[in-house]
Amino acid sequence: ALAPRCGSVLPGLQQRPAVPAAVSPATARPYAAAAAKAAKKDAKRSRQEKAKEAAKEKPLPRRRPLMSKPVDDVYLTWLYRRPSYGLEQAVGMLKRFQELDFTHPKQFVYINVFLDMALQKKKKVDPFSSGVALPHRFTEDVNKVLVFTENEQEAEVAREHGAAIVGGVELIKWILEDEIQADFYVAVPAIIPKLIPLRNKLRKKYPSTKRNSLGSDIPRMVQFFRECHEYSVEDESVIKTRIARLDMPTEHIIANLKTIIQDICTFKPSNFDPIVQRLVIRSSTSEGLLLNLDGILPQVEKAEEKEEEDAADEDQQKAVQESVST
C-alpha cells in the first residue's frame, strides 16, 4: 500500500485527547531535595534567633574586679592589675635582673610602644616609619646612604662625608633591577624631577622634604642618615625597637627612650588623644616592665587652655591700665 499523503488521515483513526505524562520519581527528586533544604535552613534560622533571644535575656556573668597589689610572694597574675613602674626604677630593675641571672651585660634594651592611631570619625594615622638621631649611640654600625646628584662638586662632597653610593639618573636602572640597594636615599632638588620612575620602587624611602632627605645641605643629610636610628609601625599599631645597651648609664638609656617617644608623638595632632597608649621596656633576657607614662610623654598645651590664659592675661592688663589711669 502506498503511504498516505501529507495531511491526510487514514480512515478509522480518531484523534485521542492528550493525556498528561506521569512525573517519574527521578524527576521529582530534585524538587523534594530543594524543599527539604529550604525547610532545614528555616529551622536552623529559627534556632539561631531563639538562641540570640535567650542570650539577650540571660544576664552577663559578673567578673570579679582585679585586685591592686598581691600580699604574698606567689600569686596568680591574672587576678591582679599589671604593675607599672617609673622609668628610672624600671631601668634599675633591668640591670638588677641581669646581675641575678648572670646574663650578658652588653645586651640590648628594647621598648614596645602600643599606639592609638584613631583620628576623627573613621580616619586614622597611617602606619609610618621614621629615623631619629639619638643623643647616645649604642652601636658602631652605620647606615648605607645613596646620594642623587649630577653636580660633580656636590658628588665629591657627598663622598667625603661618607656616602656609600653617589650618582645621577644612571642609577635608576640599577635600583629598579635591585642591583643597588641602600638604607636611605638622599637627593638634591635639581635632580628630583628625573627620579619619578623610582617613586613606586622606593615608596617611603623616596627622597622628600618631609623626611628631611631632600635638600641642598648634603653634609648634614648624609651625616644624619648614616647615624640615625630607624623604627617603624608593625601590625598597624605597635612599634618594637631597641634603644640602648644595658651596660650604658641609666641617664643615657632614659635620654634615648624619651627622644624616640617625642619623635613618635609628632605623627598625631596634639588636639587628639596621645598616640602612645602603653609603653613596655625590657632587655634581651628579661621580662617586660610596664612603664608609667607620667614624665615621658611631651607636655602639650591645649589650644583652648592657651586661649583662656591669653584672654585672662589681656583682662588683667586692661585692669592694671585702668587702675593706673585713675
The distance from CA 87 to its chain's CA centroid, rounded to whole angstroms, is 24
Nearest to 224 by CA among 237, 238, 240, 212: 212
Using the predicted structure, report yes or no on whether residue 10 has a pLDDT greater than 60. no
Degrees to nearest 5, angle at CA 95 with 90 and 98? 125
Pick the range with the lowest mean pLDDT from 157-171, 217-231, 287-301: 287-301
Contact predicate 135/255, CB 8 Å: yes
* Residue length of the chain: 326
Per-residue confidence (pLDDT) for residue 286, from 0 to 100 = 94
Q: State mean pLDDT over 297-316.
A: 56
Which residues on adjacent β-strands are paired with residue 80? 67
Q: How confident is the model at residue 70 (pLDDT cuts 50, 70, 90)?
A: confident
Q: Can you tell me the mean pLDDT for 32-61? A: 72
| Residue entry with cell 649604642 | 138
pLDDT band at 14 (very low <50, low <70, confident <90, very high): low
The answer to whether 190 and 168 have CB atoms below 8 angstroms apart is no
SS3 239: strand
Q: What is the rounded CA–CA span in Å between residue 23 and residue 20?
A: 9
Q: What is the average per-residue pLDDT within 56-73? A: 71
**Strand ranges (DSSP E) for the chain?**
84-85, 108-115, 129-132, 145-148, 165-167, 184-187, 229-234, 238-245, 276-283, 289-291
Confidence of residue 77 (pLDDT cuts 50, 70, 90): confident
Q: For 139-153, 215-229, 287-301, which range has the lowest pLDDT when averaged over its residues?
A: 287-301
Domain boundaries, the chain: 86-127+236-291, 145-226
Residue 86: CA count within 13 A, CB half-sphere: 5
Task: Tell me how crowded residue 171 is: count the other CB atoms within 10 A of its CB.
Answer: 20
Residue 300 reports pLDDT greater than 70: no
Please tell me which residue, 115 or 299, carries the higher pLDDT value.
Answer: 115
Residue 229 contacts residue 110 (beta carbons within 8 Å): no
By DSSP bridging, strand 229-234 and strand 276-283 are unpaired
Domain spanning 145-226: CATH 3.40.50.790: yes
Write out pLDDT tens, residues 122-131.
899 999 989 9
Nearest to 111 by CA among 236, 300, 296: 296
What is the CATH code of the structural domain delimited by 86-127+236-291?
A: 3.30.190.20
Give dist(CA 188, CA 149) in Å, integer.
6
Asked whether this chain's domains 86-127+236-291 and 145-226 adopt the same fold, the reply is no
Using an 8 Å Cβ cutoff, are 163 and 146 in contact?
A: yes
Measured CA to CA, the distance from residue 168 to residue 207 in angstroms comes to 14
- How much is the average pLDDT of 199-226? 94
Say whether 161 sits in a helix, a strand or coil. Answer: coil
Cα separation, 87 vs 290, in Å, equals 9
Lowest mean pLDDT among 17-21, 35-39, 71-75: 17-21
What percent of the chain lies above the pLDDT cut of 90? 60
Quick one: cell of 205?
Answer: 624611602
